[in-house]
Amino acid sequence: MSFSSHIKTALIAISRNRLRSFLATLAILIGVSSVIVMLAIGQASQKKLQEIIGEIGTTALYIIPGTVTKGGITQYALISTLTPQDAKAIQHDCPDVSYVSPEDQSVQHVVYGTQNWTTMIQGVGADYFKIGEHKLQSGRLFTPEEVRRGDEVCILGQTVAKNLFGDQNPIGQTIRIKHTPFRVIGVMVPKGEIFGQDEDDMILAPYTTVMERITGDTRLNWITVAARSPQVEKEAEKEIESLIHQRHHIAPWQQDDFFIRSPQQFMKVLIESSAVVEVLLAAAASISLLVGGIGIMNTMISSVVERTREIGIRMAVGARQQDILLQFLVEAVVLSVGGGLMGLLLGLIISLGVDIVLRVPFSISPNAVFIAFLFSALVGIFFGYYPAKRASAMNPIEALRFE
């Protein structure tokens, strides 16, 4: 028999008992779809993380509050010791630092006319827009002089602009933040959501204005800086550490009251977390494939028993052992690959659903499709070999006598 004849025979045998065949491939279907979804989400997450790092800036460093010991009690990030003077000192005394943005933030109620919205007010320096890819859709940025004077100017994110102004142009309009009037001078380009958080639901204003008029803080929430290049990032970090140690009078044996973190470190944590999830999904997919393989083996053993007389007749008219072996092995592989095809389709549907719900664009690489087919075919060969070997080893005379 030709290989195509074996496939045709396998399809006829499978169609005789469609429900049993479907149940045999169900676990294969689940396993393959898990592999597809796992690879799709993994690739989408990697792509999204790269976009985030690009927006933040590859040379960015965050100086954030650390631990403070007060009255013998260690407080974690409850009290910030970072001041605007620290930011100015970093700008002037750290040669490997190119830009510095002191930052303070607060959630506030914003009002324009009869419209109102609650959003994040983020106070930043003029260098904030040079550190990452923060682009304007319309209007202008505030100047270093406006930051120094503490002018009441602001730049809106897309979400805030739509909720307060609708289709109206917000440039030049005045909004009230905590009873303080702010003049809108710009609107940011939309960024979308990052891990479920709307990056357009915010207002940017000079940090001096935010600290004086909105929060009343004398300390900063954090300081964002940019190294001159990725090659001198470590040197810039050392310069900042040494400078803040001097300014905060921190002895070598004392604990730092600040941390310096880079976006890459944050992304590393997220990647490690996603890797754990991928391992769990891979384990679930492996178990599903194993269960599916056992199901196919049971189905094929039952099929061999039911078709014993058919096997005897084929051998009686000249079929060799290898013909019978190949016939049942092809049938097992067709079952397994059929489950893989259905799993591939289900994986694509689930990935599309994830894209719609979480707004994380996914992509299916040819490697994912190849891996899905390879695994399903290998499962069919591995678990189908024993029933096929059992069928080929039958005695033709005993097979013909079987009732």
3-state secondary structure of 235: helix
**What secondary structure does DSSP assign to 367-402, as a single string?**
HHHHHHHHHHHHHHHHHHHHHHHHHHT--HHHHHH-
Q: Do residues 225 and 240 lie in contact, with contact meaning Cβ atoms separated by under 8 Å?
A: yes
DSSP state of 189: P
Residue among 323, 337, 391, 343 nearest 40 (CA): 343
> Residue written as tokens 């690009």?
54
The pLDDT value given to residue 93: 92
Dihedral class, residue 350 (left if φ above 0, else alpha if ψ from -120 to 50, else beta): alpha
- Strands 180-188 vs 202-206: parallel, antiparallel or unpaired: unpaired
- Strands 153-156 vs 180-188: parallel, antiparallel or unpaired: parallel
CA distance 56 to 329: 55
- Return the H-helix or E-strand segment holding 3: helix 3-16
**What secondary structure does DSSP assign to 132-166, as a single string?**
TT--EEEE-PPPHHHHHHT--EEEE-HHHHHHHHT
The pLDDT value given to residue 362: 66
Series of mean pLDDT values for 10-residue runs along the chain (403 residues): 67 75 81 78 70 65 73 53 92 92 93 92 93 86 94 95 93 93 94 74 95 91 89 90 90 83 71 70 74 83 82 81 81 84 84 71 70 79 85 78 68
Query: What residues contact 78, with CB distance under 8 A and at least 6 apart?
Result: 68
Query: Count of residues for the chain?
Result: 403
Global pTM value: 0.63
CA distance 36 to 351: 8
The pLDDT value given to residue 51: 66
